[in-house]
Structure 1
Amino acid sequence: MQRLVLLSSLFLLLLGCEKKVDFDLKDAAQLLTVDASIENGQDPVVILTKSLNYFSKVSADVISNSLVKDAEVFISNGSTTHQLRRYDMVIPGTTVPFSFYSSDPANPLTIIKGELGKQYQLRIVWQQKEYNATTNIPQIRKTIDSLWWVKAPNTPDTSKKIVVRAKVKDPQPFGDYARYFTKVNSEPFLPGFNSVFDDAFVNGTTYMVDVDRGIDRNVDLDFDEYGFFKKGDTVTVKFSNIDKATFDFWRTVEFSYQSIGNPFSSPTKILGNISNGALGYFGGYANQFTTVIIPR
C-alpha cells in the first residue's frame, strides 16, 4: 500500500511538472525527388516529383500536382547519350494524370536499353540545377533454383491459404544483393514488405525461403492475410540482382515505412544516390522471372 501511494505521488508530481512545448516548423524548400530505374532488356523509366511538406495531406491529386514536367533528362552508357522524352497519361481506373520520362523513339539511333554488367549515368537539368547519379546492372549471380507451393501451416483455414517457397543459390564471394516482386494472375508486380536482402549470412550456400506476397504500400496492410496466396493463383516472382546503392536505398526506405507510428523507433536517414541535394535513387535491375501455378 505504501508503495502504491508513493507511485501515485510521483505520477502527480510528473503531471504537475508538465510543460507545453511549441515547435515552429518552417516550410522546407521543395527538393527534386527522383524515382529512376533501368532493367536488363528494358528502357529507362524516370519519375520526377517535388518534395512535399511534412504535414502535407498525401493523395493521388497531390502527388499528381507535384509531378515535374519541365526537366531535361539524359541517360548515358559511357559511349552514347540519349535524351529522354516525357510521356503523359492517366492512371488506369482513375482520372488522375501521371507523367514519366523514358526513351524517345524520335531518336532511335541513341536509344539505350539495359544490359547485364553495364554501368549507366543519369543526368537531370531542372530549374537551372543539374543532378547526377550512376548505377550498375549487375550480372545475374544470385538465382532462384526452383519455386513451389505448400499449404499454409498454423492458420485457421489451411485449405485456402497457400505459401510459396523458393530454393535460392548464392555464389561466392560476398557482395550479392537482390530485390524481389510478385505478380498474382493479371495484377502488377508488387515488392515484398521486406523486398531487399544481402548475402551476409547465406554467402556461398543454397537455401530455402518463403516468398511473401508483394504489397501495395498505398493500401492498409491486413496482417492476418499478409504473405499468403490462394488456390487457383498463378504466381510469378521477379527476382532482381541489384547493386549496393539500390539495396541501401530500399533497405532504409522499407525500415522507415515499417516504423511509421512507432514512438520508440529511431529516426532513419534514407540513403539515396542522387547528387546536389535531390532525394531518391537511380537503380539498375538484373531480372529473372519464375512462375508457379497453384491448382484449385
Structure 2
Amino acid sequence: MKKFKIGLFPLVLLFLTACEKDINLDVKAAEPLLVVDAQIENGQPPIVVLTKSLGYFSKIDPQILANSFVRNAKVYVSNGVQTHQLKEYATPLAPGYTAYFYSNDLTSPSTAFVGEYTKTYSLRIEVDNKVYTATTFIPNNNITLDSIFTRRPPFVVDTTLRTLQLRSTDPAGLGNFGRYFTKKNSGPFLPGENSVFDDQIIDGTTFTVQLPQGIDRNNPPKADSNFFKRGDTITLKYCNIPQSTFTFWSTWEFAFQGIGNPFAQPNKVLGNISNGALGAFCGYGVQYKTIIAP
C-alpha cells in the first residue's frame, strides 16, 4: 500500500502538468483618445489642457509626454452671453520640453471673461475634424470656511509635527460638494489624496474635520510623513464644486488608488466630455484661509 501511494503522486503531477496550456493574449493597441483637463474658477480665466491618451503598456518618457499635447485646436468657452476663443500658450515642462495649454486671448479683451459664482459655462473643442463639448457650473460658497487651526497628531513622538483642522458649516439640504487643496510655505497648491467629499453625513451641521496635507501624486510622501511642521505657513484652498466635478474626481481618485492592487474593485472614471473623450470640465467656487502653524 505504501508503494502504491508513493507511486501515485508522480502520476498526479504528470497529469496536472499535461493539463497545462499556454495562453497568449494579443492585446491590440487602442486608438488614442482626446484627454481634456479643463477648469474655471471664480475670478480666474478658463484653463484647458489637451493631450492624447497613451496605451496601457506604452513606454513613457519625457519626450512621449511632451509629444502627447494637442496643438492648434480651436477651443471656445461661453458664459451664456459671450463666447471667447481661447489662445494656445507654451510653458516650460522640463529642460528641453514644453507643455501647452489654452486660456484667454489677451489680444481679444472684448469677449474675454473670468469665472463668476452661480454661472454656467460651456466648452467647445474642435480638433482632428471632431467636436467635443461639456458644461460646468461655479457654485456659490454654500459650505463656508469658519476657521482653520492645527493640532499635534496623536501617538507621534515628534512634537514639531502638526495636522490641519477645518471647522466649517454646511447648509441644510443635500447636494453640496467640495474639493480641497493645501499649500505649504511657497510651494504649489496640491490636492488631498482624497480631495473631494459630499454632505450626506454633514448635512445641515457645523463640523470639524482633519484635512491631510495635499500630495504630489508623481512623488507621494510616505504614509507616516505627510504632516505639516511647526512654523509652516499653511494655506487652504477650499472649493465648492458641482456634482459633475465631484463625480469625476471621486471616481478618478478611487481608480488611482487601486492601481497595482489585484484585489481592487473595477472602476470607471466618469467625466463630462462628449464624443468619447476622456477627462472633465470642472467648475470651482474658491475660498482661501491661511495660518502659521504655532
Assess same fold via TM > 0.5.
Answer: yes
| 1:131-176 C-alpha deviation (Å, 9 max, x unpaired) | 000000011101221100111111232x121111111211111000
Change (3 A) 1:29 1:292: same
Is structure 2 residue 54 aligned with structure 1 residue 55?
A: no
Secondary structure of residue in 2 paired with 1:109: coil
* Aligned-partner residue type, residue 178 of structure 1: G
* Alignment root-mean-square deviation, CA: 1.9
Q: Which residue of 2 aligns with 1:102?
A: 103
Q: Which residue of 2 aligns with 1:212?
A: 212
Q: Which residue of 2 aligns with 1:4?
A: none
Task: Give the stretch that moved more between structures: 245-254 or 15-24.
Answer: 15-24
Q: Which residue of 1 aligns with 2:264?
A: 265
CA–CA separation in structure 2 for the residues paired with 1:102 and 1:15: 63
TM-score (norm 2): 0.92
What are structure 1's unaligned runs of at least 5 residues? 1-7
Is structure 2 residue 85 aligned with structure 1 residue 83?
A: yes
% same residue: 50
Residues matched between the structures, number: 285
Report the Cα offset of residue 265 of structure 1: 0.7
CA–CA separation in structure 2 for the residues paired with 1:68 and 1:15: 53
CA–CA separation in structure 2 for the residues paired with 1:108 and 1:250: 32
Secondary structure of residue in 2 paired with 1:88: strand
Change (3 A) 1:15 1:112: farther
CA–CA separation in structure 2 for the residues paired with 1:231 and 1:58: 39
Report the Cα offset of residue 34 of structure 1: 0.2
Task: Give the stretch that moved more between structures: 179-188 or 59-68.
Answer: 59-68
Report the Cα offset of residue 94 of structure 1: 3.7
Q: Which residue of 2 aligns with 1:147?
A: 148
What are structure 2's unaligned runs of at least 5 residues? 1-8
Secondary structure of residue in 1 paired with 2:120: strand
Q: Please identify the structure whose Cα radius of gyration is greater.
A: 2
| 1:164-204 C-alpha deviation (Å, 9 max, x unpaired) | 11112111110000000000000010000000000011100
Change (3 A) 1:15 1:134: farther
* Aligned-partner residue type, residue 266 of structure 2: P
Q: Which residue of 2 aligns with 1:253?
A: 252
CA–CA separation in structure 1 for the residues paired with 2:129 and 2:293: 53
Change (3 A) 1:143 1:271: same
* Aligned-partner residue type, residue 259 of structure 2: I
Report the Cα offset of residue 61 of structure 1: 2.8
Report the Cα offset of residue 18 of structure 1: 4.5
Q: Which residue of 2 aligns with 1:27?
A: 29
* Aligned-partner residue type, residue 169 of structure 2: K
Q: Which residue of 1 aligns with 2:243?
A: 244
Q: Which residue of 1 aligns with 2:233?
A: 234
Change (3 A) 1:37 1:13: farther
Report the Cα offset of residue 212 of structure 1: 0.5
